[in-house]
Chain A
Amino acid sequence: DTGVSQDPRHKITKRGQNVTFRCDPISEHNRLYWYRQTLGQGPEFLTYFQNEAQLEKSRLLSDRFSAERPKGSFSTLEIQRTEQGDSAMYLCASSPLKGGGARFRFFGPGTRLTVL
């Protein structure tokens, strides 16, 4: 298993465009998390899924943001009508539902978004 993967690793877009990021968790990890990180700050929680169900959403997740995990495997995070303030690193993490590993979060390398 190669860990959590994210695609693309970098995305440059113009203000007002829509962007979509993909996260592939470690296989059989039931839980999947999205975070956003701006320069010099710690990661901020956005949302998390248990299988297909979105269990929690942060108030940071405005109505321009939507996340899905349709089959309980990979997830997508879409940002509509991007703004310059959306420029950040978007991190995905996964964890199993039960067992010792449930305590840990395995993070991917992130997608760096730059909005011009």
Chain B
Amino acid sequence: DAKTTQPNSMESNEEEPVHLPCNHSTISGTDYIHWYRQLPSQGPEYVIHGLTSNVNNRMASLAIAEDRKSSTLILHRATLRDAAVYYCILKYGNQGGKLIFGQGTELSVKP
């Protein structure tokens, strides 16, 4: 499975946008980019995913570089409840199979 690289930690102020980067230089054409987050003492939860085009949903936006070697998860207005570990994951294909988690980025949000 192709590998992702994320910063270990980031800080943000409440109600400001947050850009969480992810590098995946060895991504293949059939790898989807998934983002999950894990709030303290909870299991991971799905945030967003994409293949080539930028994606938006109610939680976040995903900006994918044209060469697909990097992507950025954008939280438009961080809240205290967004403090979590964010995982960028590459997954072959669009259906079943395992997700391989890295160490993720721990996001802290200051009031």
Residues of A whose CB lies within 8 Å of any CB of B are 4, 31, 33, 35, 40-45, 48, 50, 56, 91, 93, 95, 97-98, 102-110
Contact = CB atoms under 8 A, between A and B. Distances in A.
B98 A48 contact: yes
Q: How large is the interface on B (under 10, 10 to 19, 20 to 34, 35 or more residues)?
A: 20 to 34
A40 B97 CA distance: 24
A44 B42 CA distance: 15
Given A42-B87, A42-B102, A103 B94 contact: yes
Nearest to B42: A109
Nearest to B45: A107
Contact of A44 (B32, B46, B96, B101): B101
Contacts, number: 56
A58 B104 CA distance: 21
Chain B CB within 10 Å — which of A44, A98, A105 has the most?
A: A105
B59 interface: no
A107 B49 CA distance: 16
Contacts of B101: 35, 42-45
15 contacts: A33-B98, A40-B103, A42-B87, A45-B98, A45-B99, A45-B101, A48-B96, A91-B43, A91-B44, A93-B44, A98-B95, A103-B49, A103-B95, A107-B43, A110-B43
